[in-house]
Amino acid sequence: MNNFENHINGNKPVVVDFYADWCGPCKMMPPVLKEVKEKMGERITVLKMDIDKNPHYANQFGVQAVPTLIVFKNGKIIWRKAGVTPAYEIIQQVNLLV
């Protein structure tokens, strides 16, 4: 099992940003994710997954548009949303888990 799989199978919520370098809206997500991490601290993990470098994971989780955010906990998808998502919405969803 690789590092990514170890993270998503853990009991800490993991926010994964599936993105692509060529995607304009994807470039809006780093400051949003930084705000989420600053507000949530060690209660969550935030990861970025380049769909062009990791097509296996994009296919495995049915990512058809970027950016797509997926929150995992204990190996299960708890929440997902395609498109640029504000920090407060991500935090609200994660707060339901922690």
Domain extent, residue 30, equals 3-79
Q: What is the pTM of this model?
A: 0.94
> What is the mean pLDDT of the segment spanning 36-65?
96
The average pLDDT across 28-34 equals: 97
Query: What's 42's domain CATH number?
Result: 3.40.30.10
In a domain, 93, yes or no: no
| Residue recorded with tokens 């600053």 | 38
Is residue 86 in a domain?
A: no
Number of domain units in the chain: 1
- Does the residue 24 lie in any domain? yes
Enumerate residues 6+ apart whose C-beta is below 8 A from 1: 9
Catalytic residues, by residue number, are: 23, 26
pLDDT for position 50: 97
Tell whether the model's pLDDT for residue 98 goes beyond 80: no
Amino acid at 24: G
Closest CA to 86 of 67, 73, 64, 65: 67
